[in-house]
Structure 1
Amino acid sequence: MAGGQPVSELDSRIHAYDEVGRLAELSLLGRLDTSFRFVEPVAARCGAARLSLRARPDAHSPQVSEALPGEALEVIVRRPDGWAWLRTLHDGYLGFARVEGLAEQSPGAALQRPPLKITALRGHVYAQPSIKAQKVAEVCLGAELAGGSDEMVSEGGRQWLAVEGGFVQAVCAEPLSDTDSAALALRFVDTPYVWGGRSAWGLDCSGLSQLVYAAFGRGLPRDADQQQAALRPVDTAQRGDLAFFDGHVGVMLGGERMVHANATQMAVSVETLGEGEYGKRLKAGLLGFGRWPV
């Protein structure tokens, strides 16, 4: 190659480059050879619905992650077929998504207000401030909704907040009552397992650990191996540590008990390492524990 580093040294999950089309994001200028055309990513955000990021610009390709409503994104390329190559900014993860899932970026008062951060596991945006009104969107823990007003609307003893596109009950944005990531992870028990999912409507193992850590201001990368590399390895687990396996991760509740989203139960469940058939398999495959750096 004429200058730059080998493509094999880059991680295609977080480094945007297309060897076939010879296109790459501008931040890789100087790291890739001059046969690439370099483009500047454009700021964007997720719209009112969760946005599926896929491995390829094809609705039948595997989901690799999700963007939650209102999350900050950047678009590498908008394709003429209605797909965008983009990344979620909080973890730098790349995927392909339909452009209709992106929010309009036109300036407006709603977009200039601080977003309303959702703390409820699941909820809805309603067309009007009433539980009988039409539901216009689903929300979830981690969603950030552009606000339309600072004033609450009372209805039937309930308090509502205006957001872009409708109203959400104020209880959905109250401070978390959980004291740590392990306690929050336990509230996800029985949530369906969904490959690439990142919400209480359905998630995978690293989606769960990433979500419950982020709720307490601890940003983690997207995948289990990335999370393991980001944490300090420890020999003995304590509450809130992560347990790592080949392609899998769980949140420890103590020295042996663990809560995790898994395809064996097809849900979030609690296991004890070394106990029962599944627990024995997990303990045999344990790679180690990770703790948030102090």
Structure 2
Amino acid sequence: MKITKKTIIAAVAATSLTIGAIPAYAATPAKTVKAPTAQQQKDSKVVTYAKSLIGTPYKKDGTTKKGFDASGYVQHVYAKFNVQVPRTIKDIYKPGKNVKKPQQGDLVFFDTKNKKPREANFVGIYIGNDEFIAVTVNKGVSTQSLKADYWKKAFLGAQKAPTTPIKKAPVKKK
């Protein structure tokens, strides 16, 4: 029997695993983990900030931490990251790029009035695991499940997270 360096290393590793000198996970090859993209990192920050506002009450036409309506909330969250979002749900829905599988930070749209033709009248921010965060009249800023019958029936679709930077007003020179 020919003993090679590879055979000796395998025998030492097996013996070490058996006696517990090396944890079992150390003997398995490491998985390659891709670093999150800049967009994914931004999305995570968006979701973290969006969640920090849970409990903020609903306020008709609200756009501040004192109270939000659905579009005012989305607009406020993205403004924190210098991203411009239109004020109304219809205007937010128009230019978006539809996606089949939303990612964290993408927008989810609903027709809660069930009119024909269907049109977007409610928006939330997708946070993963079939959940989104939005402002409802009864609960204010709260998490919701896309699997709930109410939201399943009203669901129109998802769109990529907005990315248009907020334009700063030019500084007037005196």
Aligned to 1:250: 124
Matched, 1:188 2:61: no
SS of match in other structure, 2:155: coil
CA distance, structure 1, for counterparts of residue 88 and residue 58 of structure 2: 15
Kindly indicate whether the alpha-carbon contact (under 8 Å) linking 2:58 and 2:69 is maintained by their aligned counterparts in 1: yes
1:271 paired residue among 124, 141, 144: 144
Structure 1 position 290, deviation (Å): 1.0
Kindly indicate whether the alpha-carbon contact (under 8 Å) linking 1:253 and 1:259 is maintained by their aligned counterparts in 2: yes
1:271 maps to a residue whose letter is: Q
Provide Cα deviations, 1:197-233, integer angstroms capped at 9, x if missing partner.
0011001111111111111121010011111113211
TM-score (norm 1): 0.36
TM-score (norm 2): 0.60
1:238 maps to a residue whose letter is: Q
Decide which structure has greater strand share.
Answer: 1
Please, what is the CA RMSD of the aligned residues?
1.7
1:200 paired residue among 62, 65, 73: 65
SS of match in other structure, 1:180: helix
**Aligned residues between the structures:** 112
Decide which structure has greater helix share.
Answer: 2
Instruction: Note closer, same or farther for the CA distance 1:258–1:221 as it changes in structure 2 (3 Å cut).
Output: same
Aligned to 1:216: 81
CA distance, structure 2, for counterparts of residue 234 and residue 226 of structure 1: 18
Moved over 4 A (4+): none
Instruction: Note closer, same or farther for the CA distance 1:258–1:292 as it changes in structure 2 (3 Å cut).
Output: closer
5+ residue gaps, structure 2, are 1-42, 112-120, 164-174
Kindly indicate whether the alpha-carbon contact (under 8 Å) linking 1:243 and 1:288 is maintained by their aligned counterparts in 2: yes
SS of match in other structure, 1:240: coil
Aligned to 1:291: 160
SS of match in other structure, 1:230: coil
CA distance, structure 2, for counterparts of residue 254 and residue 264 of structure 1: 23
CA distance, structure 2, for counterparts of residue 183 and residue 289 of structure 1: 19
SS of match in other structure, 1:216: coil
1:269 maps to a residue whose letter is: S
Kindly indicate whether the alpha-carbon contact (under 8 Å) linking 1:206 and 1:222 is maintained by their aligned counterparts in 2: yes
Structure 1 position 193, deviation (Å): 0.2
Structure 1 position 255, deviation (Å): 4.4
Structure 1 position 273, deviation (Å): 1.1
CA distance, structure 1, for counterparts of residue 131 and residue 162 of structure 2: 22
Kindly indicate whether the alpha-carbon contact (under 8 Å) linking 1:239 and 1:255 is maintained by their aligned counterparts in 2: no
1:282 paired residue among 136, 151, 161: 151
**Identical columns (%):** 31
Structure 1 position 180, deviation (Å): 2.0
5+ residue gaps, structure 1, are 1-177
Kindly indicate whether the alpha-carbon contact (under 8 Å) linking 2:125 and 2:132 is maintained by their aligned counterparts in 1: yes
CA distance, structure 2, for counterparts of residue 250 and residue 195 of structure 1: 16
1:286 maps to a residue whose letter is: F
Structure 1 position 293, deviation (Å): 6.0
By relative contact order (CA 8 Å, sep 6+), the higher-ranking structure is 2
Aligned to 2:134: 260
CA distance, structure 2, for counterparts of residue 214 and residue 231 of structure 1: 17
Instruction: Note closer, same or farther for the CA distance 1:293–1:264 as it changes in structure 2 (3 Å cut).
Output: closer
Structure 1 position 287, deviation (Å): 0.4
